[in-house]
Structure 1
Amino acid sequence: MANTDYPRVMREYAEQGYDLIVGEVFGAEREAREVAADYPQTAFLMGSSFREDPALENFPVFDCYIQDATHLSGIVAGAMTETGNIGMVGGLPIPEVNRLMNAFMAGVREMRHDVRFQVSFIGPWFDPPKAKETAFAMIENGADMLYAERFGVSDAAQERDVLAIGNVIDTQADYPETVVTSAIWHFEPTLEAAVEAVRAGEFTAADYGRYSFMDRGGSSLAPLGTFEGRVPEDAMELLRTREEAIRAGEYSVEVDDSEPKSS
């Protein structure tokens, strides 16, 4: 479904009397907010790069704030790269992508400072062939580790026998000797908070992005699986210490929404 279809579907669901409508409105923000304004008694929880709009009390937003997990995955990547040359392929340089890439890069630098990043954005959200070709170019330019923000990148890594770090979902089962680990997004805490607010009659404009943080259970680092025992012990020790501190609220990963650049 194209983003431009979301407002139409939102309106259809509102007309059918649903209490809570959940989706995302990247690229159709203005139209979606117009729909929400027409149905003030309906609760809309929408993925958006924009924070709360006080004028729309029924339109809180969420976003992909899994920078905690991507930071940890960067520590792994920094320990596993041999050349110190890492390729990063994203869709669009919007906040939800930028913050993950920046947190990953910061994690890599915890393990080694002599690192080079190749950063590229392919434009569309879903174009595996384009992402794959972009990744191939990075490998030809020396990358031995890829950050797979988009589908297609891990395919290139697998074909050229380099490593990759996944994003949002765990894809190691599909690439058992390629994907070392992945930063996982758990949407359940976000949805549960919204449902509870609706049931309590307390649903209002808010930024639900906080529920994606690791200390809220909204993100995690995927098990190393086939790479268990293959990540250097100094990285594993830092990983365990850092994850414990994050979960305890004793360490905060910077939320940096600026566009990452190649180095």
Structure 2
Amino acid sequence: MSVSRRRVLQAGGGLALAMGTGPLIAGWPRGASAADKIKVASVYTVPVEQQWVSRVHAALQGAQKRGDIDYVWSENTANTDYERVMREYAEAGHQLIVGEAFAVEEAARAVANDYPKTAFLLGSSFKPQGENFSVFDNYIQEASYLTGMIAGGMTKSNNIGMVGGYPIPEVNRLMNAFMDGVQEINPNVKFQVSFIGSWFDPPKAKETAFAQIDAGADIMYAERFGVSDAAKERKVLAIGNVINTQPDYPETVVASALWHMEPTIDHAIKAVQSGSFKAEDYGRFSFMKYGGCSLAPLGTFEGKVPAELMTKVKEREQAIKDGKFEVKVVDTEPKATA
């Protein structure tokens, strides 16, 4: 089992805490108050610094800081170890187990079946299961669409490069929404699309981005770490994904689609605290109307993006929030047009 030193240090006496043994509500143990602190554990297959996982991790750290939970985690957990780590956390009495099940669906769901009084919240492309296996996903296509609008108005070569990890729904829907946003502003843009076959390989992503820039791209969609490094070196622009990397690339990253996991995590915590946790799809909590995603502030690009373009972006953003404009969720693999 791959367990980080951070997890060991933070676990402290947490593993010695007993699971709540109060009366059952909807089949779930609860303590004397819905405000009781609960034990939460996460299992990650990548470093907590990785974009996607970092948002889950940050939301859980925020809940711990508020005093709502005791939180421990394992990172860089091999797929072959994932089930074992989940079981260890369940056996230790953690009431909520969070993670990403994309490569370990069968194993993760088997664990949930064996621990029916434990709540599981896993990133997944599939449906909830039984009474205790809920799923979430990065439905931030609305914010991705807005970044596409900005990219469509900023490109001069009408050639945009896109580098992703794997062509799975979680990646595809954001890329497709970005492309739709680009084309609303500039239907003449052509796209280069590549996948590196890894969730965390910055050198490979960087080399792939270099190739697209050499082929004419003047804006890069940075779905993976490494892409913005290439853009910075070649002095082209980049669009961020999930987290705001502009502080690291102040002259490169124009805008980012931000994922806020707090609404998802907070809903799960409250459900466990109240004894009402059930198997459901948490995807909706990533939508803009729930505060699950947003367009990052322009920051260093304030004033550099044309005011007329930003007016269109803000109008579209408001229409999304008001329910007057729906960004399509397209999970199929995006295709290059360049």
After superposition, what is the alpha-carbon deviation per residue over 1:100-138, rounded to whole angstroms, capped at 9, x for unaligned?
000000000011011100000000111101000000000
What is the aligned partner in structure 2 of residue 16 from structure 1?
Answer: 92
* AA partner of residue 163 (structure 1): L
Aligned: 1:78 with 2:152:
yes
Tell me, yes or no, if the aligned pair for 1:3 and 1:25 is still in contact at 8 Å: no
Deviation at 1:162, TM superposition (A): 0.3
Greater mean alpha carbon deviation, residues 248-257 or residues 155-164? 248-257
What are the equivalent positions in structure 2 for 1:21-36 lying under 5 Å apart? Answer: 21-36=97-112
Aligned: 1:195 with 2:269:
yes
Deviation at 1:146, TM superposition (A): 0.3
Give the Cα separation in 1 of the matches to 2:116 and 2:308. Answer: 54
The secondary structure found in structure 1 opposite 2:276 is coil
Give the Cα separation in 2 of the matches to 1:216 and 1:189. Answer: 7
* AA partner of residue 34 (structure 1): A
What is the aligned partner in structure 2 of residue 47 from structure 1?
Answer: 123
Give the Cα separation in 2 of the matches to 1:229 and 1:213. Answer: 28
What is the aligned partner in structure 1 of residue 193 from structure 2?
Answer: 119
Structure 1 unaligned regions, length at least 5: none
Give the Cα separation in 1 of the matches to 2:297 and 2:161. Answer: 22
Tell me, yes or no, if the aligned pair for 1:4 and 1:27 is still in contact at 8 Å: no
Tell me, yes or no, if the aligned pair for 1:168 and 1:184 is still in contact at 8 Å: yes
Give the Cα separation in 2 of the matches to 1:4 and 1:245. Answer: 45
Greater mean alpha carbon deviation, residues 236-245 or residues 92-101? 236-245
Of 90, 106, 130, the residue aligned with 2:164 is 90
Tell me, yes or no, if the aligned pair for 1:85 and 1:145 is still in contact at 8 Å: yes
* AA partner of residue 176 (structure 1): P
What is the aligned partner in structure 2 of residue 172 from structure 1?
Answer: 246
What are the equivalent positions in structure 2 for 1:1-263 lying under 5 Å apart? Answer: 1=76, 2-53=78-129, 56-263=130-337
Give the Cα separation in 2 of the matches to 1:182 and 1:42. Answer: 36
TM-score computed with the length of structure 1 as normaliser? 0.97
Pick the structure with greater CA Rg.
Answer: 2
Give the Cα separation in 1 of the matches to 2:282 and 2:83. Answer: 20
Deviation at 1:228, TM superposition (A): 0.3
Tell me, yes or no, if the aligned pair for 1:3 and 1:26 is still in contact at 8 Å: no
Give the Cα separation in 1 of the matches to 2:100 and 2:83. Answer: 10
Give the Cα separation in 1 of the matches to 2:195 and 2:250. Answer: 26
Give the Cα separation in 1 of the matches to 2:99 and 2:82. Answer: 8
Give the Cα separation in 1 of the matches to 2:311 and 2:159. Answer: 23
After superposition, what is the alpha-carbon deviation per residue over 1:144-183, rounded to whole angstroms, capped at 9, x for unaligned?
0000000000000000000000011100011000000111
Deviation at 1:250, TM superposition (A): 2.3
Give the Cα separation in 2 of the matches to 1:197 and 1:262. Answer: 43
Give the Cα separation in 1 of the matches to 2:251 and 2:79. Answer: 35
Deviation at 1:204, TM superposition (A): 1.1
Give the Cα separation in 2 of the matches to 1:5 and 1:169. Answer: 28
* AA partner of residue 311 (structure 2): E
Greater mean alpha carbon deviation, residues 147-156 or residues 226-235? 226-235
- The alignment of Structure 1 onto Structure 2 pairs a total of residues equal to 261
Greater mean alpha carbon deviation, residues 241-250 or residues 31-40? 241-250
Moved over 2 A (4+): 2-6
The secondary structure found in structure 2 opposite 1:181 is strand
The secondary structure found in structure 2 opposite 1:60 is strand
Give the Cα separation in 1 of the matches to 2:86 and 2:135. Answer: 15
Q: Percent same amino acid at aligned positions?
A: 67
The secondary structure found in structure 1 opposite 2:180 is helix
* AA partner of residue 187 (structure 2): H
